[in-house]
Structure 1
Amino acid sequence: MDFEKVLFQRRSIRSYEDGEVDKSSVDEMIKAAKSAPSANNRQPWHFVVIRSDEIMEKIMKIHPHSYMLEDAQLAISVCGDRKKGDTYWVQDCSAATQNLLLMAENLGLGAVWLGVYPRRERIEGIADLLNLPDHIVPLNVISIGYPARESGEVDRFDEKKVHYEEW
């Protein structure tokens, strides 16, 4: 893995080509996600892997900006367990999501983070659809597939947003 390439070329990919994402790639993405740091090492994350076109169609009715699921090979919902980290589950699951996105890029896949939390209607809709227990909260749905276009490096460094010692 060329870490710099993966880190600086990762982009939100919303259009996909045909091709099945194999189970070993899914396992690698989840393994990377589970390697994220978490407060007090509570690891409050759970992952729901979705391959069903029917379920992805239903997500598109719940989430108004999820049109890319129509062509996605799969989706993964990163969820937080409030029993394991009611205070920091959002940060912990966000770190896991970033790791997952970086591994997707490393595997030659394209992905985009579709925010669910904190939108109540999205949380309730996705939780009901995926039959989540009450203490499990969906943070997002990640659309994943083989990218229909190449993405290149974009330099987003802005020195005006860097402060030393104080503002």
Structure 2
Amino acid sequence: MDLFEALHTRRSIRAFTPEPVSEADCETVLRAAMAAPSAGNAQPWHFVVITDRAVLDAIPAIHAHAAMVTGAPMAIAVAAELSLEKYPGFGYWTLDCSAAVENLMLAARGLGLGTVWCGIYPRPERMEGLGKLLQFPEGVTAHALVVIGHPAQEFRRVDRFKPERIHRNVW
């Protein structure tokens, strides 16, 4: 798929078929995620691939807006190992993980897979809940959950371009 087609047709998909995501597709999206830029090239991210139905079904108790995960074959939790930050204390890990999430979702779109980004950070109850559910070690913190699968709804192009939001040189 053309890059710009993927960019402009990527949408939050909340309905999935029961078909599993192949290991090859899973690796492809994870490779794309790990190709993201990061502050000082620290790459503080870790990814937990979740396919266990009991674990997927437990997620809405942590994040009520992630209920679509119960109908998806897979989710990927994105977390940061804070000791890997090159510039600790500035919170760049959140930017690094966000870039990884976007790459992951665009790669999934390119493969014809659907995704929805469920925000975990900065909500402490979600961060702690997901970390506990997935047994994160000390020093690893949850950032996001990407629900992924074969879409049971259409991708559609939406023009979000707003020229009035563009400023040149000064506001």
Q: Which runs of 5+ in 2 are unaligned?
A: none
**Following TM superposition, by how much is the alpha carbon of 1:18 offset from its aligned partner in structure 2, in angstroms?**
2.0
**Following TM superposition, by how much is the alpha carbon of 1:152 offset from its aligned partner in structure 2, in angstroms?**
1.4
Quote the RMSD (CA, aligned, Å): 0.8
User: Structure 1: how far apart are the matches of 2:164 and 2:139?
Assistant: 41
User: Structure 1: how far apart are the matches of 2:127 and 2:113?
Assistant: 26
Instruction: State the partner residue of 1:109.
Output: 113
Instruction: State the partner residue of 1:151.
Output: 155
Q: Structure 1 stretches (4+) deviating beyond 3 angstroms?
A: none
Q: What TM-score does the superposition give when structure 1 sets the normalisation length?
A: 0.98
- Bigger drift between 28-37 and 128-137 goes to 128-137
**Following TM superposition, by how much is the alpha carbon of 1:16 offset from its aligned partner in structure 2, in angstroms?**
0.7
Q: What TM-score does the superposition give when structure 2 sets the normalisation length?
A: 0.95
Alignment of 1:1-167 (within 5 A): 1-85=1-85, 86=88, 87=90, 88-167=92-171
Q: Which runs of 5+ in 1 are unaligned?
A: none
User: Structure 2: how far apart are the matches of 1:93 and 1:47?
Assistant: 10
> What code does the residue aligned with 1:79 have?
A
> What code does the residue aligned with 2:124 have?
R
User: Structure 1: how far apart are the matches of 2:142 and 2:53?
Assistant: 19
**Following TM superposition, by how much is the alpha carbon of 1:133 offset from its aligned partner in structure 2, in angstroms?**
1.2
User: Structure 1: how far apart are the matches of 2:122 and 2:56?
Assistant: 20
SS state of the match for residue 93, structure 1? helix
Kindly indicate whether the alpha-carbon contact (under 8 Å) linking 2:21 and 2:149 is maintained by their aligned counterparts in 1. yes
Work out the number of aligned pairs and report it: 167
Kindly indicate whether the alpha-carbon contact (under 8 Å) linking 2:59 and 2:67 is maintained by their aligned counterparts in 1. no
Give CA deviations for 1:111-162 in whole Å, capped at 9, x if unaligned. Answer: 0000001101101100011110121111011111111111111110001111
User: Equivalent pairs: percent with the same residue?
Assistant: 43
SS state of the match for residue 147, structure 1? coil
